[in-house]
């Protein structure tokens, strides 16, 4: 199957700072990537759809100025959590479409202290 790499796997940051998470498709080109958020023992909630060369599409209730998404190339999408607060602590997961399947990154555990 296709490989999606997400970095970093864990990050701890102070309140008020920004954190960037990278999602790379290693062996295929992805025009569309997805960003999810997962709270402990809960399901994956789609935050936004990242489209290469255009603006991301955010789900209802997700602040676009808070969660900045950039998809500048066919193999890289980034999610920046700006002015992070403790309530932003969560597990963030990206996925990329390859043909008609979705492959997921390893996830990033963000802890805001």
Partner 1 sequence: GENVEQHPSTLSVQEGDSAVIKCTYSDSASNYFPWYKQELGKGPQLIIDIRSNVGEKKDQRIAVTLNKTAKHFSLHITETQPEDSAVYFCAATLGGSFQKLVFGTGTRLLVSP
> Shortest approach of partner 1 to residue 21 CB, angstroms?
12
Please compute, for residue 26, the number of CA atoms within 13 A of its CA located in the half-sphere on the CB side: 10
In angstroms, give the least distance from the CB of 106 to partner 1: 5
Q: Does 105 bind partner 1 (CB under 8 A)?
A: yes
Stretches 14-22, 44-52, 66-74, 75-83: which one binds partner 1 (CB under 8 A)? Answer: 44-52
Query: Binding partner 1 by CB under 8 A: which of 93, 96, 110, 112?
Result: 93
Binding residue (CB under 8 A) for partner 1 from 7, 13, 28, 44: 44
Q: Using CA atoms of 82, 87, 89, 94 in order, give the dihedral in degrees to the nearest 10.
A: -60
Cβ distance to partner 1 smaller for residue 28 or 104: 104
Return contacts of 38-41, CB within 8 angstroms, 24+ apart: 38/90, 38/91, 38/92, 38/93, 38/107, 39/90, 39/91, 40/91
Contact at 8 Å (CB) between 95 and 33?
yes
Identify the residue among 15, 42, 73, 83 touching partner 1 (CB under 8 A).
42
Q: What angle do CA 30, 108, 11 make, to 5 degrees?
A: 130
Residues contributing to the site for partner 1 (CB under 8 A) = 1, 4, 6, 34, 41-44, 46, 49, 93, 95, 97, 100-107, 109
């Amino acid at each position: 199957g296709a490989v999606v790499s997400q970095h970093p796997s864990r990050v701890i940051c102070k309140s008020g700072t920004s954190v960037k998470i990278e999602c790379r498709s290693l062996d295929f080109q992805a025009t569309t990537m997805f960003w999810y958020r997962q709270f402990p023992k809960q399901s994956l909630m789609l935050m936004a759809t990242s489209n290469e060369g255009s603006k991301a599409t955010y789900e209802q209730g997700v602040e676009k100025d808070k969660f900045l998404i950039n998809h500048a190339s066919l193999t890289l999408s980034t999610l920046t959590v700006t002015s992070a607060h403790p309530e932003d602590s969560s597990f963030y997961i990206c996925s990329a479409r390859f043909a008609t399947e979705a492959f997921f990154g390893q996830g990033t555990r963000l802890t805001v202290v």
